[in-house]
Structure 1
Amino acid sequence: MAGDHRVVFVVFDGMKMLDLAGPAEVFAEANLFGARYALRRVSPSGKPVLTSTGMELPVDGTAEDGPGAGPDTVIVVGGDVLATHPVPPELITTIQSFRPRARRMVSICTGSFALAAAGVLAGRRATTHWRHARLLACAHPDVHVQPDALFVEDDGVFTSAGVSAGIDLALALVEQDHGPDLARDVARGLVMFMQRPGGQSQFSAPLEAKPPRTPTLRRIVDLIAAQPALDHTVSTLARRVAVSPRHLARLFATELNTTPAKYVEQVRLDHAKVLLAAGHGVAETARVAGFGSAETMRRTFTARLGISPSQYRTRFATTGPGRQKPGNDR
């Protein structure tokens, strides 16, 4: 219909259902408040696709089908297959056919791999699921990957982090189209944040570094992981393995691409996240994880994750109604 904002979802075999369903619900909710989003699904072949859940998803045709005018927004959904296998040539062709016709190009989660393969992200800032951010940066060095962002806009090209971050991005698109008041109505209707605080780091798994090759460094990182609350200054660590602080710092830089202090802080942060998710109090967690004080831990959480320890525990300790235990929180 004339006046509609045409949104096209590009889907493929192995796609994640939530990468489509989440943003689509945001647009559908926006229509209840006066927006006019017209949603279509296309696949490279025009045939139904098999989603990651095993469900078959019907589509409305191919990129060449539909209204004569080009779409306003093209959204490429994600799927684990995009990060584990080469992007299919027919999917790349579909994206490239939309590029000159669409006002906005969008990817959800690992859909960024498809946009990158199609050349859409060359020279641009972008993000993807935290688990695959390093791979995206290695596979496409011309893309400036922002690993902690929930979503990124760069001159009309939008990319989002994993799964539910696609819902955050869709809400941002609604706000761009219709202003904050309508977007706020949508957020209230869907019981979601207008702007979720923090970045992807608050959701990521504990440190996933490869074991060091050097036996000396391996002993040190094993000790830090086993007893994060010990005194782990660089001079103390160096004395434990009978090397100079400068040599130890060189080992950390060469093999782990970090400093001893930053590595220790990351390990303590990872321990604290696990403890808080298990329901431990902030003061107890700060002591056991090696931060020394709740205030020091709070500063680290705020700087690294964008939220406080108590906020982290509230979000991740339980999905039940009694989310907070009484205790030492700040």
Structure 2
Amino acid sequence: MSPTNRAARSSAKLVANGESGGPPSVSGEPAEAASKRPASGDRPRYWRQGLDVEARRIAMVVYPGITALDTVGPLEVFATANLIASLIGRKPLYDLQVIASHDRPVATSVGMSVNPSCKLEELVLPLDTLLVSGGLGQEEACKDAHLLQFLRSVSRRVRRLGSICTGAFPLAEAGLLDGKRATTHWALARDLEKRYPKVTVQVDRIFIRDGNVYTSAGVTAGIDLALALIEEDQGRAFALRCARSMVVPFKRAGGQAQFSLQLQAQFASTPAVQRVQEWAAENISGDLSVTTLAARAGTSERNFARLFREATGMTPAEFVERLRVDAARRLLENPAQRLESIATECGFGSADTLRRVFQKRVGVTPSQYRDRFSTA
């Protein structure tokens, strides 16, 4: 028996009790699986979805300097899905591989190394899903011509293409995000936007799907993305069971913010701009026009707009809109507060304006957001 299968069986009890165990086998069904198959009437809802289908092949691209959690986190979600499948008498749902430009161990940010399953050119196609891991090594990855050509070639032969955190940079460098909406770690979102103007970067999103291309925000957002992919494949009930087994929330959807805009104000490089941002956050229901903000800064509108963009990477109007949407998010988590009241408190003027701007920025309507994230 392989070490992977031993780990899967030893952790079966933990997962059955709702706790996360070790990685399951990704090749072959446990011998006892057939005897454990429940009768048709006893099968859970998620049994019928994907029953006995061939395992979906998923490959994670790694390179020196990857963040360990960007790689291991999403893969562990798929491994947990395999383990849960084995417990209900199903074959493995996912065949997982880690691939790199070479077959040597790849160093991660925490000192541990990842051993690739194979080199890029040895990957057997077709493939269901190709994911690119993130990490501070993305700059060198963007210079790896072999990797970029591989991504371009394989992208045409996969059902889903995606990235975790800064893995969006190699995808963008390969031209695979051109004309797409995408996200990445919030601290590098403006850099992605500047370097790749053909990409529509949406910094507020946990993950984004645009066609068959998926990008996730920073670090743990890769786990959210993996759960979303499992939900697509196996249904919500099965994905929820995976989340519970790993003791992670299944509530975060792509539209939830990855950080507060009031925290982003701290990253303004110019003190005068930061003071205006802080004042705006404290007076969100008032007049936050460029004229008002420029007067607050003691400079002309044109000069203020230039200084603001240099310091934050966005226009004053965009910042105010994001600030108000961020405030609306928090208020929407209280199911008792009416939408009209939230619109007034956040400076939108009307519920219709709130709905329009909120959906543009977040990707879901205020009502949909409240359904997902309400504290009730």
Name the TM-score, length of structure 2 as normaliser.
Answer: 0.62
Q: How far apart are 1:74 and its partner, in Å? A: 0.7
Are the equivalent residues in 2 in contact too, given 1:249–1:260 (CA < 8 A)?
A: no
- For 1:132 and 1:151, locate their aligned partners in 2 and report how far apart those are by CA, in whole Å: 15
Aligned to 1:251: 303
- For 1:138 and 1:256, locate their aligned partners in 2 and report how far apart those are by CA, in whole Å: 16
Q: Identify which of 236, 244, 261 aligns with 1:180.
A: 236
Q: Which runs of 5+ in 1 are unaligned?
A: 213-217, 274-294, 315-329
Q: How far apart are 1:147 and its partner, in Å? A: 1.1
- For 1:66 and 1:238, locate their aligned partners in 2 and report how far apart those are by CA, in whole Å: 56
Are the equivalent residues in 2 in contact too, given 1:72–1:102 (CA < 8 A)?
A: yes
- Secondary structure of the corresponding residue to residue 60 of structure 2: strand
Q: How far apart are 1:45 and its partner, in Å? A: 1.6
* AA of the residue aligned to 1:38: D
Name the TM-score, length of structure 1 as normaliser.
Answer: 0.69
- Secondary structure of the corresponding residue to residue 103 of structure 1: strand
Q: Which runs of 5+ in 2 are unaligned?
A: 1-26, 28-52, 86-91, 310-314, 331-343, 349-357
Structure 2 matches for 1:45-60, cutoff 5 A?
45-60=102-117
Change (3 A) 1:204 1:251: same
Are the equivalent residues in 2 in contact too, given 1:131–1:204 (CA < 8 A)?
A: no
- For 1:111 and 1:173, locate their aligned partners in 2 and report how far apart those are by CA, in whole Å: 17
Deviates more, 1:141-150 or 1:231-240: 231-240
Aligned to 1:288: none
Q: Identify which of 240, 243, 257 aligns with 1:199.
A: 257
- For 2:287 and 2:295, locate their aligned partners in 1 and report how far apart those are by CA, in whole Å: 10
* AA of the residue aligned to 2:270: P
Structure 2 matches for 1:16-27, cutoff 5 A?
16-27=67-78
Are the equivalent residues in 2 in contact too, given 1:228–1:264 (CA < 8 A)?
A: no
* AA of the residue aligned to 2:54: G
- Secondary structure of the corresponding residue to residue 127 of structure 2: coil
- For 1:142 and 1:261, locate their aligned partners in 2 and report how far apart those are by CA, in whole Å: 19
- For 1:238 and 1:136, locate their aligned partners in 2 and report how far apart those are by CA, in whole Å: 28
Structure 2 matches for 1:21-170, cutoff 5 A?
21-34=72-85, 35-67=92-124, 69-83=125-139, 86-170=142-226
- For 2:276 and 2:119, locate their aligned partners in 1 and report how far apart those are by CA, in whole Å: 56
Residues 271-303 of structure 1: per-residue CA shift (max 9 Å, x gap): xx9xxxxxxxxxxxxxxxxxxxxx94899xxx7
* AA of the residue aligned to 1:200: Q
Q: How far apart are 1:154 and its partner, in Å? A: 1.2
Are the equivalent residues in 2 in contact too, given 1:224–1:264 (CA < 8 A)?
A: no
- For 2:127 and 2:80, locate their aligned partners in 1 and report how far apart those are by CA, in whole Å: 20
Which structure: greater helix fraction? 2
Q: How far apart are 1:139 and its partner, in Å? A: 0.6
Are the equivalent residues in 1 in contact too, given 2:134–2:164 (CA < 8 A)?
A: yes
Indicate the percent of aligned positions where both proteins have the same amino acid.
36
Q: How far apart are 1:249 and its partner, in Å? A: 3.7
* AA of the residue aligned to 1:74: L
Are the equivalent residues in 1 in contact too, given 2:186–2:218 (CA < 8 A)?
A: yes
RMSD: 4.1
Residues 159-215 of structure 1: per-residue CA shift (max 9 Å, x gap): 100000000000000011111111111111122222316312338844222317xxx
- For 1:259 and 1:135, locate their aligned partners in 2 and report how far apart those are by CA, in whole Å: 18
